[in-house]
Amino acid sequence: MAKWAMVTGPTAGIGAAYAKLLAAKGYNLVLVSRDLKRLKQSAADLTAKHGVETQVLSADLTTEKGIAALEKFITENQIEVLINNAGFGLNSSFVKSEAADEQSVVNILVSAPMRLAHAVLPQMVARKSGTVVNVSSVAGYFAAGHYSAAKAYVTVLSESLHAEVSKHGVNVSALCPGFTKTEFHQRAKMKMDALPNFMWLDADFLVAKSWTDAQAGKAISIPGWQYRVMVGLLRMLRVLGCDEPASLYVASSARKLFRALGASQMSGLRRWPRARRSRQSGLRSNRESRRESGEPRQYPDRLGHRVPSRGISFQERSGRHRHNPW
């Protein structure tokens, strides 16, 4: 009998990638979103491609009513996997934004993951199996507004729950992606044209890494070397006790570092064929000049001194009749 997985925000981006991954692994799916039309289309596509059962639930997780409806559904059904992915960001500073909008962010990014995890974990602990993946962000490691604060909560909550329930055979993990090719930034009307290409992650890649890490019992998954470096730098600066906010320092420094690194790598790749050709031509010219002058080739002896070959063949130097310069 196939097990059921619930994915919030499954119509695009990371949520859609997770729905595809779980369907490919044979899980039946409960798909949750506000957009019922897209939800039904996603469900039909997954059923047609993978032959799994799907159930769609239209719920607005920015509201108390929407969160409560999902809590009730979870307590009445057996859910083996919960992917808390739904969310959005505001393209405005905290001071200039509306309080109602900020509350909506808290509801969907903080209250919903906490309450859905609280609803599903008792049944997972009771049967000693289950996985909860909370989609957080590397933004949670930086002081960069309300969104970062909410994601910091999700990451720490996931670590705490992992420590509490892992001994019962239940996996709780926080996926902390960096910039990912999804609809997130377009919906928030954020201009991302200046971001270097190598800073973008593919949703399928990071979801596969997240699932592997969760099943391996890792509390936090940070796909992409560039973001692991950024988080490592930030943690190091905090340990060293930087006077200024370490997150702001790392954010600006890492941006310059990665831009320079990307430029140097590309320029190095451009120069490599030319450098290789020049080196090869230099070696050829040296060999030709030695032939014309009749100068014998030299080889290092046991002390590292270069001595003439004295006309000894390569086979004698490298085979049974090894040349002894003494």
Q: What is the pLDDT of residues 10-63, one digit of tens each?
A: 998 899 999 999 999 999 999 999 989 999 999 999 999 999 999 999 999 999
What is the Cα 93 distance to its own chain's centre? 26
The number of residues making up the chain comes to 326
Residue 230 falls inside a structural domain: no
Name the amino acid, one letter, at 292: E
Last residue of a domain, one of 223, 251, 266: 223
Average confidence (pLDDT) over 172-183: 77
Beta-carbon contacts of 115 under 8 Å, excluding residues fewer than 6 positions away, are 67, 71
Residue 203 confidence class, pLDDT cut points 50, 70, 90: confident
Residue 288 falls inside a structural domain: yes
User: 257 with 161, same domain?
Assistant: no
User: 33 with 96, same domain?
Assistant: yes
Average pLDDT, the chain: 77
- Active-site residues, by number, are 147
User: 217 with 271, same domain?
Assistant: no
Q: Which residue has the higher pLDDT, 146 or 8?
A: 8
User: 194 with 302, same domain?
Assistant: no
Is residue 22 within 8 Å of residue 29, measured between CB atoms?
Answer: yes
- Answer left, alpha or beta for residue 6, where phi above 0 means left and psi between -120 and 50 means alpha: beta
Residue 112 falls inside a structural domain: yes
Q: Is the pLDDT of residue 182 over 70?
A: no
Residue 231 falls inside a structural domain: no
**Each residue of 104-128: pLDDT tens digit?**
999 999 999 999 999 999 999 999 9
293/165 Cα distance (integer angstroms): 79
Last residue of a domain, one of 170, 190, 223: 223
> Which structural domain, as residue segments, surrounds residue 36?
4-223
User: 219 with 267, same domain?
Assistant: no
Enter the pTM of the model.
0.69
Is residue 88 within 8 Å of residue 137, measured between CB atoms?
Answer: no
User: 317 with 282, same domain?
Assistant: no
Is residue 3 within 8 Å of residue 189, measured between CB atoms?
Answer: no
Element housing 288 (H / E): helix 246-293
Total domains present in the chain: 3
User: 179 with 81, same domain?
Assistant: yes
Between vectors from CA 185 to CA 179 and to CA 186, what angle results, nearest 5°? 145
Query: Helix, strand, coil shares of the chain as percentages rounded to 5?
Result: 55, 15, 30
User: 285 with 306, same domain?
Assistant: no
pLDDT at residue 145, as a whole number: 78
